[in-house]
Amino acid sequence: MAELTDLRSAAALLSWDERVGMPSGAASTHGEMLATIKRVEHEKFTSSDTGTLIEQAETEVSTLDADAPARRKVAVTARDFDKATRVPSRFVVTHTNAVSAAHQAWREARERSDFSRFEPHLKRVLELKQEYVSFFAPADHPYDVLLDDFEPGARTAEIQRMFDALRPRQVALAKAVQERPAVDDAFLHVPYAKNDLLEFAIDVISRFGFDWTRGRQDMSAHPFAAAISSNDVRITTRFVDRNPFELLFGMLHEAGHALYEQGVSQEWNRTSLIGGASLGVHESQSRLWENIVGRSMPFWMHFYPGLQKRFPSQLANVTLDQFCGAISRVKPSLIRVEADEVTYNLHVMLRVEMEIALLTGGLDTKDAEECWNSKMADYLGVTPGNSADGVLQDMHWSVGLFGYFPTYVIGNVVSAQLWSAFQDAEPAWEGQIQAGDFAPLRTWLQREIHQHGRRYQPRELVRRVTGNDIDAVRYLTYLETKYS
């Protein structure tokens, strides 16, 4: 498993380089390198020798307590092995090459705001996803197979029930807020010096506890976090002229992912337990730091004087209350990563509904942009004026991440559950954050969530920490309390 983990880390490093530093002419070379590494890793992992070793290990640990680290490690490895052995090596190579080409096509299409340049690649990726589903026994829903890769144990029907619980109350809340006088946020959209804003953001995530000896930060077309290992975690952000503060909140978001990976116990390095429990749990960390902490009054009571000093011409006459109101303004928007907390989940629901329709044949890729624009009008009352702000805005489909989007909503829901548990455990939390002391929160999260890596499945982990299943009630309470 140590050797296999090394190969996966090498593949992750190549993927990071593709998105951050690779010259455009190297796309095919990188695709071939990545395909070779993934093929070698897949063949080694799915070999009969590995299967024999897993069977022997299962026998050896069978008398241990069900929660013993060795038994957990074997169980996770066996589950991964069972899934991997259903997928042929030739498919791994084909899929890797296809998504490498698709990602480059997406970048070029987005730059030119031309969906037609990406559509054939989307069609090819979708065909491969349909083939991937066919490798597994029929599920309650074909989308279950894709969802399980990112959120182990989750089912499409559960996600749809969660959406049904969230949608009406979030739509009602958004409507109620929109009926009030609009919050003035014009000062957030005037010119800000990119480097100064970046320096401020770096200072903030340093205070969060981001370990620069085991991480780095770069710029990319779409913000993301890449864990090469728990000792090499890389995050990116982007600067958008019309919305400069996306750089800051993007950094806070990706730092949440990074703190999770850096907090995984060193005991799990080069084992199957390295990484997070699921992408939903991972997203709970990023949304907690970005929104629940990063858009809160106690947070800005500490940081706002420094921000004002750094940008006097923009913020000298803006009060703390005005600033906090502006960064939490509810306003339907075109861009998911710029969306406010109240409308964000609606962006995700749109994408998930499209993914399911694309996968099951209810939507053709040639009609994807038209469908996108129609749903944006129905869900949010806005319509993209171009492809870059619409169907091409996210990179996920270009890199084959079908089944990923539901984890954003799960992350929002779980973030509120974890925040409630932390408040109960640390009654002095407000004063700590107001003082710029994030160590208690970071330590609590590391103890309760981060250190375990993949030791527990997501629902089990949430129950251990909060005493409850994953449930939307706390998140709806958080939103309605904050915005009412």
pLDDT digits (tens, 9 = 90+) for 93-142: 999 999 999 999 999 999 999 999 999 999 999 999 999 999 999 999 99
CATH code assigned to 156-483:
1.10.1370.30
Cβ atoms of 443 and 385 closer than 8 Å? no
CA 396 to chain centre: 10
For residue 128, what are the β-bridge partners?
A: none
Q: What is the pLDDT of residue 484?
A: 86
DSSP string, 172-192: HHHHHHHTSPPPP-GGGSS--
Q: What is the pLDDT of residue 251?
A: 97
Residue 480 is a catalytic residue: no
Rounded CA separation 48/51 (Å) = 5
**pLDDT of 323 strictly over 90:** yes
User: Which of 70-100 are b and which e, b meaning 16 or more Cβ less than 10 Å from the residue's Cβ?
Assistant: ebbbbbbbbebbebbbebeeebbbbbbbbbb
Confidence band for 337, pLDDT divided at 50, 70 and 90 = confident
| Domains in the chain: boundaries | 2-139, 156-483
Supply φ then ψ for residue 455, to 5 degrees. -60, -35
Closest CA to 285 of 253, 325, 249: 253
User: For 352-409, how does the pLDDT look when each residue is reduced to its tens digit (9 = 90+)?
Assistant: 999 999 999 999 999 999 999 999 999 999 999 999 999 999 999 999 999 999 999 9
Q: What's the pTM? A: 0.93
DSSP string, 281-308: HHHHHHHIIIIIITTSHHHHHHHHHHHH
Angle at 224 between CA 358 and CA 207, to 5 degrees: 145
**pLDDT of 74 strictly over 90:** yes
Q: What is the pLDDT of residue 24?
A: 86
User: For 209-218, how does the pLDDT look when each residue is reduced to its tens digit (9 = 90+)?
Assistant: 999 999 999 9
Helices (H), 384-483: 406-425, 429-434, 439-448, 458-466, 473-483
**Catalytic-role residue among 18, 151, 254, 290:** 254
Give the strand pairing for 232-237 and 225-229.
Answer: antiparallel
User: For 242-296, how does the pLDDT look when each residue is reduced to its tens digit (9 = 90+)?
Assistant: 999 999 999 999 999 999 999 999 999 999 999 999 999 999 999 999 999 999 9
